Amino acid sequence: MGIIQSLICRECKKEYKPQFRYICEDCFGPLDVKYIYPNNIKRELFESRKEKTYWRYFEFLPIRDKNNIVSINSGFTPLQKSTNLSKDLRLKSLYIKNDSVNPTFSFKDRPAGVAVSRAKEINLKAVGCASTGNLASATAAHAAVARLPCYIFAPADLEPVKISQALAYGAEFVAVEGTYDDANRVASVIGDSKGIGIVNINMRPYYVEGSKTLAYEVAEQLNWQVPDYLVIPVGSGAMLNAICKGFEELCEIGLVNDVSNLKIIAAQPHGCSPIVDAFKSNSNEIFPVEKPNTIAKSLAIGDPGDGIYVLKRLKQYHGIAESATNQEIVNGILKLSKTEGIFTEPAGGVSVAVLQKLVESGKIDRDANIVCYVTGNGLKSTEALVGMLPKPSTVKPDVQMVSTIIR
């Protein structure tokens, strides 16, 4: 399994024993997992593995003992080569990383699965999360399998399906009357005071390790070639950072050749785009959005925890940040479903809309290799499409009447 050397501060590089801690006591910077890599890892090692989940990369995941893995068979999702969307956008090579088909229907099965496994490994008695919707179910499902109590803190106005789904896995759902940032503050204090492993707060160093498998899988599925562009939907920014970390690790151990030409696109919804705003005004500081207002509820994080690190990644990797309006998001959802047969929730619509916008404005090279991350399933937020689709024709079961409709 992964051999953790330490937790290292992202700011001052101070190292800590890998315990239940997440912030540097000297500078309050976030902590990341640092590994001792095994010698001589080859591409063939992974290619030969039968494990068709993200745990196939277990040497790079922070769990000491395989018996502590809590798996619901997430990951190794399709990297779908686009045929129709690429034709419509006149792109030479576009792939959709379809992470909407994970067991709880979003990419959050990756970070939640790793964090809950680690919680089991360090003997925590309960887990939980602050959620914009998808993490709730991902954490709850893994907690159910681990037989741990699970506490969800989320805004009360989430999509009803996301609340029902988390409740169905047996979680305690605390619906906070406020924004995600309010729910996050409550979860943070409760987690620390009661010793609950809040996967995206006090377990964050381990949590983000799950999302980096979105880089490993794409690299392996592309035969270890690094794409030119990655289009990534952004809320807190944790996933974008983790994907960058994933590609860097692959480079460090020699499984991919070079990541220096990678270009990162951060996609946010117009009604909650603090990172895009900072990027466009050339600021190194993020000004939180107090009241997010967007149909992309899963990206409605006004004060993104990893926002400044996304800005750094954009500088490092020739990046661009761009937003999409509600109408553009809906158009993005429908464009993807009608061209590629993939039905995504608004977060995926944001990715597709931003991809289209940047291609059409000439900021993405049409000849490049592009991977667009689609991270959540359309069935979770059908209300985003209310009033946007034609009404079905209702008829008596009469062939003659129906033939007047089908011309």
Ligand X SMILES: Cc1ncc(COP(=O)(O)O)c(C=O)c1O
- Cα first-last separation, the chain: 61
27 binds, among ligand X, Zn ion, none (CB under 5 to 8 A by kind): Zn ion
Residue 299: contacted member of ligand X, Zn ion, none (CB under 5 to 8 Å, by partner type): ligand X
Length of the chain: 407
Q: What are phi and psi of 32, to 5 degrees?
A: -120, 155
Q: Would you count residue 165 as binding ligand X (CB under 6 A)?
A: no
Contacts of 374 (CB under 8 A, 6+ apart): 96, 97, 98, 99, 100, 336, 342, 344, 348, 351, 352
**Is residue 27 a contact residue for Zn ion (CB under 5 A)?**
yes
**Segment contacting ligand X (CB under 6 A): 13-21, 30-38, 131-139, 153-161?**
131-139
The 53-92 site mask, x for binding ligand X (CB under 6 A), equals ----------------------------------------
CB of 110 to Zn ion, least distance (A): 26
Give the C-alpha separation, 167 to 370, whole Å: 37
d(CA 155, CA 174): 8
Least separation in angstroms between CB 275 and Zn ion: 23
Interaction of residue 233 with ligand X, rule CB under 6 A = yes
User: Hey, what amino acid is at 206?
Assistant: Y
The H-assigned helical ranges of 77-133 are: 84-89, 109-121
Q: Which stretch binds ligand X (CB under 6 A): 1-9, 45-53, 58-66, 227-235?
A: 227-235
134 binds, among ligand X, Zn ion, none (CB under 5 to 8 A by kind): ligand X
Instruction: Look up residue 131 and give its amino acid.
Output: S
Helix (H, G, I), strand (E, B) or coil at 141: helix
Measured from the CB atom, the residue of 46 and 292 that comes closer to ligand X is 292
Please give the backbone phi and psi of residue 220, each rounded to the nearest 5 degrees, phi first.
-65, -40
Binding-site partner at residue 375 among ligand X, Zn ion, none, CB < 5 to 8 Å by type: ligand X
From Zn ion, ligand X, none, interface partner of 298 (C-beta below 5 to 8 A by class): ligand X
In the complex, the smallest distance separating the C-beta of residue 181 from ligand X, rounded to whole angstroms, is 12
Q: Closest approach of Cβ 22 to Zn ion, in Å?
A: 12
H or E element that contains 245: helix 238-252
Residue 376 lies near ligand X (rule: CB under 6 A): yes
Residue 132 touches which of Zn ion, ligand X, none (CB < 5 to 8 A by kind)?
ligand X
Q: Tell me how far apart the alpha carbons of residues 117 and 209 are, in angstroms, rounded to a whole number.
A: 12
Residues 6 or more apart whose Cβ sits within 8 Å of residue 236: 200, 301, 304, 305, 306, 307
**Of 100 and 339, which has the nearer Cβ to ligand X?**
100
243 binds ligand X (CB under 6 A): no
For residues 3 and 39, give the distance between their C-alpha atoms in angstroms, rounded to a whole number: 12
C-alpha neighbours within 13 Å on the C-beta side of residue 375: 28
314 touches ligand X by CB under 6 A: no
Could you tell me the smallest distance in angstroms from the CB atom of residue 212 to ligand X? 11
In the range 342-371, which residues lie near ligand X by CB under 6 A?
Answer: 347
The reply to whether 11 sits near Zn ion by the rule CB under 5 A is yes
By CB under 6 A, residue 127 contacts ligand X: no
The 3 state secondary structure assigned to 270-303 is HHHCHHHHHHHCCCCCCCCCCCCCCCCHHHCCCC
Q: How far is CA 384 from the centre of its chain?
A: 19
Q: Tell me the window of 5-13, 125-133, 361-369, 384-392 that interacts with Zn ion (CB under 5 A).
A: 5-13
CB of 390 to ligand X, least distance (A): 26
Q: How many residues bind ligand X (CB under 6 A)?
A: 17
Chain residues that interact with ligand X, rule: CB under 6 A:
106, 108, 132, 134-135, 233-239, 298-299, 347, 375-376
Chain residues that interact with Zn ion, rule: CB under 5 A:
9, 11-12, 14, 24, 26-27, 29
